[in-house]
Each structure stands twice: as structure tokens, then as C-alpha cells.
Homo-oligomer: A and B are copies of this chain.
Amino acid sequence: MATTIRDVAEKAGVSPMAVSKVLHGKGDTVRVSKEKALLILRVAKELNYQPNYLARSLRSRKTRTIALVFDHFQRIGDQTGYFNQLFNGAMGAAFEGEYSLTICPRLNSLDGRRLFDGRFDGLVWGKPDVSDDTREAIESATIPVVCLHLPAEVSPPVPVFCCDNRQGLRMGVEHLAKLGHERIAFVIDDVNQNLIEASARWQAFRQALQESGLEACPDAPLIWRHQDGQLARLMSSARRPTALICFSEYLAVSIVRQAEKTGVQIPNDLSIVGYDSTVFCDTSTPRLTAISQPVEQMAHDATQHLISIIEGTKMAPQHFVYPCGLDIRESTARPAHLTVEVIS
């Protein structure tokens, strides 16, 4: 059994409060004489006293710990730099503020318990989806919550940190339109299709097409199931798209891989644009054209803002929208039929 504050107090012949005051500076009304303080410090060291964090937190209602939450989150860094940036941003801000960061794979535990249970001072939510659970969870939160990738349009009651999807997709679509593409599809993996940001990007995509005088092709997001024959089927369909804009870098890279296996030439047969533009866009062959968002900055700001709320220095729910960029690499080009026309 670990030594408690009472053990120290007893051995030093003082009250527990005196010990608390000397060792943790708590108890404003308590004043301790210098010699008594020294005695307490000595005894505490002798007994190798370590204050129990749980007890302190229970009493003070502060844990100095932040939760970083995903739903169904699995691995980092495999084929995307996204999580690296996310972790670096969140860890950076948390550690600067002297908070610990706990990684939680999901918001609702198996037994229905939630994370608003005293363990955390606040919560950074990385992957909100459109389910009722999500809405209800946000509404029933008893600690400060901030959300990443929750479009400002949904006006949630918590601060959100999101990129400017309209602008990002406008850049992507314009780039493809200028190259001569007329049939552009928006692709998303099945696991992500219920994310709020998925529908936001789809809407932004449609609007961008409209502004470029184009129509969506097909008129719904292409759901990608990571099955082997899917690309071949797509390429052999009648009005097949000549370009894809993908929900993520990871998805774009896996389509590029499948293209390589299937014999589909990127970018000649098909142009591909990813979302998020990290080092992995440079390691694929061909290198991947991608819309970029400042993920690390967003995660850092979100976490820092959360800490401000926790510590009472900021209150009003605000929305933070970050500009996107477009990094043009090798996976986009003029569509083949145009090239052919030129030659003939």
C-alpha cells in the first residue's frame, strides 16, 4: 500500500492539512511555519510519499488529462500521414499546456458508458459521424468538447475546426476542368461514408462542379469497398468518369495501387486527386495530386482552444475554418479522348 498524506502527517506529528499545504500548496487558509514545513518535506521524502492523483482529481474535479477520441480508429501512419499530423498537433498543444493525452478508440464504450465520467477535463473528437448517437453524445456532454472536421454548416453547440471544403473542392474541380475533364466522380470509402465531413465534401463537390458548368458523374458519391474488381468494373462502365476526387489520401493511394495491378494507366486513363497532402503522396507511383488541409495546425488549435475552455479563458462556441491548398503532382492530366483527338 502506498504511503498516504496521513502517514506523513502522523510521522511528522502534524495534521494532514499541513502536509497538503506544504506539498501541494492547497488550502489557502493554512499557514505553516518554516521549520514545520521542512520537517514535513523531510518525512515525505523519507516515506517516498507520492500523492494519489485519483484522490486529488476526485476532490478537485480536475484531471489535467484530455481525451483524443475516434470512432473505430485503428492504425496510424500506414498509408497516410494524416494521423501523424493529428497526433503531433494534439500532443503538442496538450503537452505545452501540461496536460496528458489519452487515446480513446471510441466515444461510447461497449457497455454504453461514455467518456464524460470524470476521467477527462475535456475531449477532442476526431471523427464525428451523422448518427443520432453522435448528436446525442455532443448534447449530453458534461465536459468541454471540441470537434475536428465538423463542417461549420451544421452549427453544432461546440467549437469546430474544419477546412474550407468548398474552396478545396473548387480548386480540385477547377484543376481537372481546365485539363479538359467533363466526367468527374467523387469517391469515398465505405467506412467513412457516414462521417459528417463526407456529406459536406460531397455537397462542396457538387457546388464546385456547378460553378465549372459540369454535372456530377454519377450523381452520387462512388462508394469504395476496397474490393479487387471494383476499378475494372468502373472503367468498363458506359459513361465512366475520366477523373476521381477521393475523400482521402489513403483512398486515393489504394486506388492508384489497384490501377497498377489492373493495368489502368494513371493519369492517362484516369486522373486522381486525393484529400490531405502528406509525404505519402510523394511515395506513390505516380505521385499523387492532392488537396491539402493543415491537419496538424487544426489539431493543435483545437486542443489549445479546448484547454482555454477548460481553464475558463474562452467560452463562446466558435467555428474555425482553415484554407485548403492544391498540390499538383503526377496523377492528373488531360483526359485520354482529348489527347487522342489532338493526335488524329
Contacts and interface: CB of A to CB of B under 8 A. Distances in A.
Contacts of A98: 110
Contacts of A117: 50-54
Nearest to A84: B77
A85 B75 CA distance: 9
Contact of A113 (B51, B58, B104, B283): B51
A63 interface: yes
A88 B279 CA distance: 19
A82 to B, nearest CB: 10
Contacts of A87: 76-77, 87
A340 interface: no
Interface residues of A, number: 44
A46 to B, nearest CB: 13
B104 A50 contact: no
Contacts of A52: 58, 117-118
B2 A50 contact: no
Contacts of A101: 102-103
Nearest to A296: B75
Interface string A210-225: 0000000000000000
Interface string A145-164: 00000000000000000000
Contact of A282 (B48, B113, B283): B283
A84 B282 CA distance: 18
A119 interface: yes
27 contacts: A2-B116, A2-B118, A2-B142, A48-B140, A50-B113, A51-B113, A51-B117, A52-B117, A52-B118, A54-B63, A54-B119, A65-B102, A65-B119, A75-B91, A76-B76, A76-B77, A76-B87, A76-B91, A77-B83, A77-B87, A77-B88, A84-B84, A87-B87, A91-B105, A101-B103, A279-B283, A283-B283
Given A54-B54, A54-B118, A58-B58, 20 more contacts: A50-B113, A51-B113, A53-B118, A53-B119, A55-B58, A55-B118, A75-B91, A75-B92, A76-B76, A76-B87, A77-B84, A77-B85, A77-B88, A84-B84, A100-B104, A101-B102, A101-B103, A103-B103, A279-B283, A282-B283
